[in-house]
Amino acid sequence: MTTSSQSEALNSQTNDSSFADLWEELNWRGLIHVSTDAEELRKLLAGEPITYYCGFDPTAPSLHLGNLVQLLVMRRLQLAGHKPLGLVGGSTGLVGDPRPTAERTLNTKETVAEWVGYLGAQISKFLSFEGPSAARMVNNLDWTEPMSAIDFLRDIGKYYRVGTMLKKDAVSARLNSEAGISYTEFSYQILQGLDFLELYRSYGCVLQTGGSDQWGNLTSGTDLIHRAEGKSVHAIGTPLITNTDGTKFGKSEGNAVWLDSSMTSPYAFYQFWLNTDDADVIDRLKVFTFLTRAEIDELSQAVADEPFRRAAQRRLAVEVTSLVHGADATEAAIAAAAALFGQGDISALDASTLEAALRELPNTTAPASTPVVQLLVDTGLCDSSSAARRAVQEGGVSLNNIKIESTDDLLEPHVLPSRMAVLKRGKKTLAGIFVE
C-alpha cells in the first residue's frame, strides 16, 4: 500500500455517529471483555483528549489478526480525539510473555531488533501521525536498557508482592504445569507494568488496551502506578476472538493469518475472510471494519434472507483486505479468484498474485513435457491414470480454462509466460502447476 493510499484510507475512517458515545460503540462491536471502572472509562473517553497505549512484542516478524483487533481499537480511540502510543517491545520481546503450557524459546537480540523494525512499520500503517491526536511510536528498550539490575529491584520491584504475582492467570497456569515457570518469564509482568509507569510519567498516559488474556499484565501497570504515584489509571481487555465452534480465530492447523503479505498473501488473506461462516460474519464485520451499525444491520438481514449470496462475506473480505493490503491488492485477489473459476483471463493476472493463489491449491512442479494425465494424478485431482484418462475423455479437464481434448496432450502448449498453469477438473476442483 502506497503512502498516499494509506493516507486516503485513514481519512475515510470514522466512528459511527449513531451511538451516544465511543464507549457504547465499543461495547456494541463486542470489543470490551473486561476493564477497570466502566463508568469512569465512559466519562474519560467522552471527555478531553487522553493519551493511551498498546504494546506489541516482536515474537515473530509480522503481526497477525489478533494484533489487528488491537490496532483497530487504537484507531477508534484516535478517531475520537485521543492520542495513541504504539509500543514495540524491544525489551519485553527479549524475555517473552509466559505461554500457558511451556517456556518460550528466546530469540537473539539481533532477531528481536530486526522484528521490532518490522512491527513498527506495520503498526504505523493503521494510525495517523498527523494532527492534534497524532500517534507516537515508542520502544521499551529505550528505558529498560539503561536501567541496572539494582535500580530495577529497588525502584520497581519493591512495589510488587509475590503473592499477587502468583495469582495472575498466566503464572498460575504455568506453576501448575509440568513445565513450571522460569524467573525470566515470571518477571515479564513487572516489565510490562514498568512500561505503563514510564509512559504515564513521560506522556501522561492513562489507559492501556490489550487482549483479555493479557489482563494480568495490564493490571500490573495500573497497580504499579497506583502504588508508585498514588494515581488511578485504566485498562481495557478485548475478548479473544473465537469462532462459534470454539476454535481459535485466525488459526488454521497452527498457522496464523499474518498481516505481512510475504507471509500470508493478499489472495490467501482475502479467501480467509470470504470463507467466514454465516454464524461468525456479522461479529467479524463489527470488529474488523468501519462499517456503520446501519450497514451491518443490512448485511445481517442479507445473511438471514439470502445466505447463499454470501453478501456479508464478500463485503467483509473486501473491507479487511483493503484495510491491510490496499484496494489494488484486493482487486487483484478478486480478479485471481474469478479467473481461476473460469470468469476471467488467467493470462492477464500478475505473476505474484497467480503464484499466491496456486500455492493455496494442491500443486506440483513438473517439466513442460509432462502429460496432462500425469499432472491430474500428481496433483491428486484423479487417483489413478485410468481415472485421469476417463476425466479427459469426458471433457471435464482444462488447463488455463482451455479444455483438454486428448489424453495424449502435454503441458507445454499451455504454460504461461510466468511458468505456471492452472489445472482444473470439473468446474470447481483446481490445482496449480509450476513448470521446472
- pLDDT over 60 (residue 253): no
For a pLDDT cut of 90, what percent of the chain falls above it?
87
Mean pLDDT across 374-381 = 98
Residues 260 and 115: beta-carbon distance below 8 Å = no
pLDDT (tens digit, 9 = 90+) per residue, 192-230? 999 999 999 999 999 999 999 999 999 999 999 999 999
- Residues 363-379, mean pLDDT to the nearest whole number: 97
* CA distances for 355 relative to 64, 132, 359, 408, angstroms: 22, 43, 6, 27
Report which of residues 342 and 258 the model is more confident about: 258
Question: Quick one: 384 and 415 in the same domain?
Answer: yes
Task: Using pLDDT thresholds of 50, 70 and 90, give the confidence band for residue 254.
Answer: low
Q: Do 133 and 277 lie in a common domain?
A: no
The C-alpha cell 510519567 sits at 201
pLDDT at 65 > cutoff 90: yes
Q: Are residues 399 and 434 in the same domain?
A: yes
Mean pLDDT of 34-43: 98
Domain identity same for 75 and 178: yes
| Average pLDDT rounded to a whole number, residues 323-339 | 95
Give the residue-averaged pLDDT of 330-347: 91
Under the banding of pLDDT at 50, 70 and 90, the label for residue 252 is low
Residues with Cβ within 8 Å of 246's Cβ and at least 6 positions away in sequence, in order, are none
Mean pLDDT computed over 426-434: 94
Same domain? 329 vs 373 = no
- What would the pLDDT profile of 119-144 be if each residue is shown by its tens digit? 999 999 999 999 999 999 999 999 99
- The pLDDT confidence band at residue 255, using thresholds 50, 70 and 90, is confident
Q: pLDDT per residue over 271-305, tens digit each?
A: 999 999 999 999 999 999 999 999 999 999 999 99
Looking at every residue in the chain, the average pLDDT score rounds to 95
Confidence at residue 102, expressed as pLDDT on a 0 to 100 scale: 82
CATH code where residue 54 lies: 3.40.50.620
Last residue of one domain, picked from the residues 240, 257, 278: 240
How many structural domains is the chain composed of? 3
pLDDT higher than 80, residue 242: yes
CATH of the domain at 409: 3.10.290.10
Q: Are residues 370 and 286 in the same domain?
A: no
The CATH number of the domain where 322 resides is what?
A: 1.10.240.10
pLDDT band at 343 (very low <50, low <70, confident <90, very high): confident
pLDDT of residue 4: 77
Domain co-membership, 235 together with 248: no
Mean pLDDT score, 386-391: 97
Domain finish residue from 301, 330, 352? 352
Q: Report the amino acid identity of residue 305.
A: D
Domain identity same for 56 and 163: yes
Question: Is the domain of 132 the same as that of 236?
Answer: yes
Q: Specify whether 180 is located in the same domain as 34.
A: yes
Same domain, 341 and 372: no
Q: Which residues pair with 433 in a beta bridge?
A: 364, 421
Mean pLDDT on 225-251: 90
Least trusted range by pLDDT, from 91-105, 112-126, 374-388: 91-105
Domain edge (last residue) among 175, 209, 240 = 240
The domain in which residue 310 lies consists of: 242-352
Same domain (yes/no): 318, 365: no
